[in-house]
Amino acid sequence: NAGVTQTPKFRVLKTGQSMTLLCAQDMNHEYMYWYRQDPGMGLRLIHYSVGEGTTAKGEVPDGYNVSRLKKQNFLLGLESAAPSQTSVYFCASSPIAGGHPYGQYFGPGTRLTVL
Amino acid sequence: AQSVTQLDSQVPVFEEAPVELRCNYSSSVSVYLFWYVQYPNQGLQLLLKYLSGSTLVKGINGFEAEFNKSQTSFHLRKPSVHISDTAEYFCAVSDNQGNNDMRFGAGTRLTVKP
């Protein structure tokens, strides 16, 4: 049982390049989330999904797109990377909405630098 | 929407001393409260949670937190810290309306010194 895994762990992009971050969970959770973590700002929700084939915007969705074609996978895409997207990205999953009462299960993170 | 304020960005403390990490929240409805811990270069792990019932909640690694509704606080405490407790701690709040809006505080970096 690997829990939540993220690929890649590190990435450096140039401004304007695109990339996709992959999140996979093997706990059969319905809900999946993408957060970004910036110094002094905690975690902010980018997008989330309440089930296969569904996605919704979170607190800071601009510049990102997501897809949930399979229940176990949640992809985060950057179509044209900007330096403001330099951050650490975390994926999380939960069996029910918001994670309560179990909390959310987090992946190890992807450190992205946009030059 | 609800919000969270962690009152201290950094807390240095000596080994075996007690520690309190402060968290205040704001919400117009009833809430669930969480504390997560993040060790260096790792994801977040759930430390403890308050859903309902007893206001004193015990978590892993000897941590506990007390929910105070009148002061809208959920402070985290440990009576005696270890070097291995050095990490970043996040307080989080979500309402009990069944949505997906969990808000995190900015984090408190706990540094335990020998």
pLDDT digits (tens, 9 = 90+) for A16-68: 999 999 999 999 999 999 999 998 888 999 999 989 999 999 989 999 999 99
- pLDDT band at residue A99 using 50, 70 and 90 as cut-offs: low
pLDDT of residue A101: 60
B44 chain-A contacts, CB cut-off 8 A: 43, 90, 92, 104, 106
Average pLDDT for B61-87: 96
CB nearest to A98's CB, from B45, B90, B100: B100
Which residue, chain included where needed, has tokens 């969970």? Answer: A25
What's the token pair of residue B71?
Answer: 């002061």
d(CA A91, nearest CA chain B) in Å: 9
pLDDT of residue B30: 82
Flag if A97 and B99 touch (Cβ within 8 Å): yes
Which are the contacts of B11, defined by CB distance < 8 A and separation ≥ 6? B19, B21, B108, B109, B110, B111
Sign of CA dihedral B25, A104, B106, B42: positive
Torsion of CA B105, B90, B62, B40, to 10 degrees: -160
pLDDT of residue B77: 98
Express each pLDDT in A8-22 by its tens digit. Answer: 999 999 999 999 999
Which residue, chain included where needed, has tokens 């919000």? Answer: B3
- pLDDT band at residue A100 using 50, 70 and 90 as cut-offs: low
pLDDT of residue B57: 94
- Contact residues of B toward A, CB < 8 A: 4, 6, 9, 32, 34, 36, 41-46, 49, 51, 90, 94, 96, 98-102, 104-107
Sign of CA dihedral A31, B45, A26, A68: positive
Flag if A43 and B98 touch (Cβ within 8 Å): no
Does residue A98 have a pLDDT over 60? Answer: no
- pLDDT band at residue B110 using 50, 70 and 90 as cut-offs: very high
| Surface of A (60-79) touching B: CB under 8 A | none
A98 chain-B contacts, CB cut-off 8 A: 32, 94, 98-102
Between strands A110-114 and A10-13, the pairing is: parallel
Structural contact between residues B56 and B73, judged by C-beta atoms closer than 8 angstroms: no
- Euclidean distance between CA atoms B91 and B106, whole angstroms: 8
pLDDT of residue B100: 65
pLDDT of residue A75: 98
Which residue, chain included where needed, has tokens 């000897």? Answer: B62
- Euclidean distance between CA atoms B99 and B30, whole angstroms: 13
Overall size of chain A counted in residues:
115
Structural contact between residues A54 and A67, judged by C-beta atoms closer than 8 angstroms: no
